[in-house]
Amino acid sequence: MGISDFADSLARRVEGVGASVSEALFEPVIRLGVTGLSRAGKTVFITSLVANLLDRGRMPALSGAAQIRAAFLQPQPDDTVPRFDYESHLAALTGSAPHWPEGTRAISELRLSFRVAPSGFLGGVRGLRTVHLDIVDYPGEWLLDLGLMDKTFAQWSEGALSRLASRPRGDDYLARLAAADLGAPFGEPAAKALAEPFTAHLQAAREAGFSDCSPGRFLLPGEMAGSPVLTFAPIPPGDYPRGSLGREMERRFDAYKREVVRPFFRDHFARIDRQVVLVDVLGAIHAGPAALEDLRQSMAGILAAFRPGTAGFLAGLLGARRVEKILFAATKADHLHHSQHARLTAITEALLREARDRADFAGAKTQAMAIAALRATTEETLTHDGRDLPAVRGRLLDGRNAALYPGELPADPAQLLAPARGGAQHWLDEDYAIMGFAPAAVQLRPGDGPPHIRLDRAAEFLIGDKL
């Protein structure tokens, strides 16, 4: 543990004492982290979860639901973290012209509080308890940055440069790099001339379906856009003189680790009790074998954050604290007829298996599930060439109505994962389709939240024991 790790963990422990005494005596707080790569479905998940916890008519699998006497939103405890804009997102999803919410650029937080009646024999004697659920939405890309912490600039550069040639717009960057004089005295325009095409390449790779596009803040810079800490790029190894462009690139990489990555893990990640990792498995299958393999590797990278043994710096930050439960949820399962959901779950489990086998997540309970936070489709059987095809129907983004048969997922996940790992260019047997369905217009009955698939089971796993 380095000196600053030690100081961090000491500060945390001192801070933690005050919080845990008052919480244990009075009102327990569950901090639920919600993460996933860009477009995985975090915003929709949180919005629908909160709406369905406020109105619990569609949450039969949440065992504590009967004990909840009241649920309400409260001001969050962290004054400097943006509030999750629940009301706007809910209005987008369930208003008169339902549409998906905008992409999110940064971390946000929301506090939901419950008044809970004790169950069982003592129920009549004791009064109501209050339980707070603090939900934190943060980009999975930020977790991937953990992989940078134990790398030197030279090691990181080597890995990043080796991926460039085979990825979108990598050539642009390599051409700029070839033209740059890395030994020349540093100047900001020269740094920008490299950082910009490198960032453009990361963005293009992300759009093409690649998941491993770190440094994560290059894609989601927020208020750090244009700052020196985000203006660097990978370069070949060399002995660059003091004050040179090459040397400054290395200095900025170190500043990124120190000023960006470390504070996120210290201030946010280290305080999480329960975690849901949303994964757009169907989207990756649709995008092809390379995207699925890349998703598998990125998931392994993300999960490394939950195995503190792997990163010394994180162990120092966390102390004895651990995430207690981790749910891996394949999202958007409403693209599939329910007869295929078990196969989607099996593929999700297989994706995570390697990471899971390597360590037990330090005692955290884990589970994989296929869910739809907001169900946009209904089921239907199509007949094609005399064959019955289990399909779904929904409203497309352009307003038309369409039925989709997405292709049959294999019963054995290896039929997808093995060719993906082997570098296949296309799926052999099937094409897997998805469609851009819009949220369905729904009339909610009083007491009901928005329609979903297995969101109640997800909630039961994550917080059921605390209600």
Ligand X SMILES: Nc1nc2c(ncn2[C@@H]2O[C@H](COP(=O)(O)OP(=O)(O)OP(=O)(O)O)[C@@H](O)[C@H]2O)c(=O)[nH]1
In angstroms, the CA 432 to CA 451 distance is: 25
Stretch that binds Mg ion, among 19-27, 36-44, 69-77, 186-194 (CB under 5 A): 36-44
- What is the token pair recorded at 333? 């399962």
Taking Cα atoms as reference points, which of 384, 376, 428, 422 lies closest to residue 402? 376
Residue 41 vs 64, nearer CB to ligand X: 41
108 binds Mg ion, rule: CB under 5 A: no
Helix ranges, 95-242 (H): 140-144, 146-149, 153-164, 170-179, 188-207, 216-219
334 binds ligand X, rule: CB under 6 A: yes
Q: Which does 147 bind (CB under 5 to 8 A by kind): ligand X, Mg ion, none?
A: none
Interface with ligand X in residues 45-104 (CB under 6 A):
100-101, 103-104
Size of the site for Mg ion (CB under 5 A): 3
Residue 180 Cβ vs ligand X, minimum distance, rounded to whole Å:
32
Interface with ligand X in residues 366-385 (CB under 6 A):
372-374, 376
Which of 104, 157, 231, 275 binds Mg ion (CB under 5 A)? It is 104
Q: Which does 94 bind (CB under 5 to 8 A by kind): Mg ion, ligand X, none?
A: none
Task: Say which residues have a Cβ less than 8 Å from residue 170's Cβ, sequence separation at least 6.
Answer: 163, 164, 201, 205
| CA–CA–CA angle 205, 206, 209 (5° rounding) | 90
42 binds ligand X, rule: CB under 6 A: yes
Q: What is the DSSP string of 205-229?
A: HHHTT-----SHHHHS-GGGTT-GG
Residue 8 vs 334, nearer CB to ligand X: 334
Q: Which does 256 bind (CB under 5 to 8 A by kind): ligand X, Mg ion, none?
A: none
Which of 42, 257, 262, 356 binds Mg ion (CB under 5 A)? It is 42
In angstroms, the CA 137 to CA 272 distance is: 11
For ligand X, what does the binding mask look like between residues 1 and 40, x meaning CB under 6 A?
A: -----------------------------------x-xxx
**How many Cα atoms occupy the beta-carbon half-sphere of 96 within 13 Å?**
0
Taking Cα atoms as reference points, which of 148, 141, 149, 145 lies closest to residue 35? 141
Task: Count CB atoms within 10 A of the CB of residue 99.
Answer: 12
Q: What is the CA radius of gyration of the chain?
A: 24
43 binds Mg ion, rule: CB under 5 A: yes
Residue 29 vs 277, nearer CB to ligand X: 277
List of residues contacting ligand X (CB under 6 A): 36, 38-44, 100-101, 103-104, 139, 331-332, 334-335, 372-374, 376, 437
List of residues contacting Mg ion (CB under 5 A): 42-43, 104
